[in-house]
Copies of this chain bind each other. A is one copy, B any other.
Amino acid sequence: MSASSRRGVDVGALVEQARDGSPRAVARLVSMVEDASPALREVAATLAPHTGHAYVVGLTGSPGVGKSTSTNALVGAVRARGLRVGVLAVDPSSPFSGGALLGDRVRMQEHATDAGVFIRSMASRGHLGGLSWGTPQAIRVLDGAGCDVILVETVGVGQAEIEIASLADTTIVLLAPGMGDGIQAAKAGILEIADVFVVNKADRDGAQSTVRDLQGMLGLGGRYADDAHWRPPIVKTVAARNEGVDDVLAAIDAHRAWLEKTGGLRSRRRERAAREVEAIAVAALRARIGDLRGGVALDSLADQILDGKLDPYAAADALLAETSD
């Protein structure tokens, strides 16, 4: 009987069920990530041999550009290829996961009964560092559960839009006409993170001018396509009518082929894994320090500081030595 089954969670069985396509088992594993369950360590170890297969696509954009509709349309297009799809809708502004969930479920109900699609809304835990802690682990769950493509959708607010680029193999930045997005994009450094631009609601006035603005800015940046530089294509869609969605998939395919040819896919994923390890290490250290606060170690070090016998750096060294046992 393993440690986790004694706590009522049989991680091995849960991972097995998730790999067999049980949405309940996948949901349970993602919840364990959200709750920072003590069993996560065992989950990660059990999943490890089964990961590395999924291709991760990030979608970001300002509110109102049609992210959920676009995600929905992309899910349909990927499913049409017979591939399994996972969707993570990450809301970096919400401390709870309940809020966005219902809305997404309603919008995604087209795929809600499709066993080849797993949809999940997630809050990103601010105190653990934005997207950096939970999202990669949730991606790992979907990857281990056999998803071929994972779409990570996040609101393009502040830091989240930069972070998503570090999580995804291909990052899609969504824009819509008449929202002043051209200027917004330049400001937010979004030009730097986009592998593919999608101008959604392309049937509206101003779509062509948004495309021209983007072309102009990409040109000004002096970017061009060769082995060292990827020039982000600009795709027009009307996601609500599924128009242009196959072009988006084609752009993702082209970017993936370029990444594989140049070795960029491996290096992106290496960087992603390294960040994930770093985030877990720092969280682990904080937790160990928290444990020590409950005990006498930190208080005793603090007392020595108050008595002038120790300085805070030497105390921090001692603390790190204790936490590394």
Contact = CB atoms under 8 A, between A and B. Distances in A.
A282 interface: yes
A61 to B, nearest CB: 26
A241 interface: no
A298 B274 contact: yes
A288 to B, nearest CB: 9
B306 A277 contact: no
A264 to B, nearest CB: 14
A243 to B, nearest CB: 37
A218 interface: no
B137 A306 contact: no
A314 interface: yes
Given A282-B285, A301-B277, A308-B52, A45 B313 contact: yes
B299 A270 contact: yes
Contact of A274 (B276, B278, B299): B299
Interface string A35-68: 0000011001101111110000000000000000
Contact of A271 (B48, B286, B302, B311): B302
Contacts of A284: 316-317, 320
Nearest to A309: B48
Contact of A305 (B50, B273, B317): B273
Interface string A290-325: 000100001101110111111111111101110110
A313 B44 contact: yes
A217 interface: no
Contacts of A313: 40-41, 44-45, 280
A101 to B, nearest CB: 26
Contacts of A319: 277-278, 281
Contacts of A47: 311
A306 B273 contact: yes
Contacts of A314: 44-45
Nearest to A284: B316
Interface string A76-108: 000000000000000000000000000000000
A269 interface: yes
A280 B312 CA distance: 7
B281 A289 contact: yes
Contact of A270 (B289, B306, B310): B306
B281 A52 contact: no
B311 A45 contact: yes
Contacts of A306: 52, 266, 269-270, 273
A3 to B, nearest CB: 14
B280 A316 contact: yes
Contact of A320 (B276, B281, B305): B281
9 tightest A-B CB contacts, nearest first: A324-B324, A44-B311, A273-B302, A280-B316, A48-B311, A281-B316, A274-B302, A273-B305, A41-B313
15 contacts: A40-B313, A44-B311, A45-B311, A137-B312, A269-B302, A269-B306, A273-B315, A274-B293, A274-B299, A274-B301, A277-B319, A280-B316, A282-B286, A285-B285, A323-B324
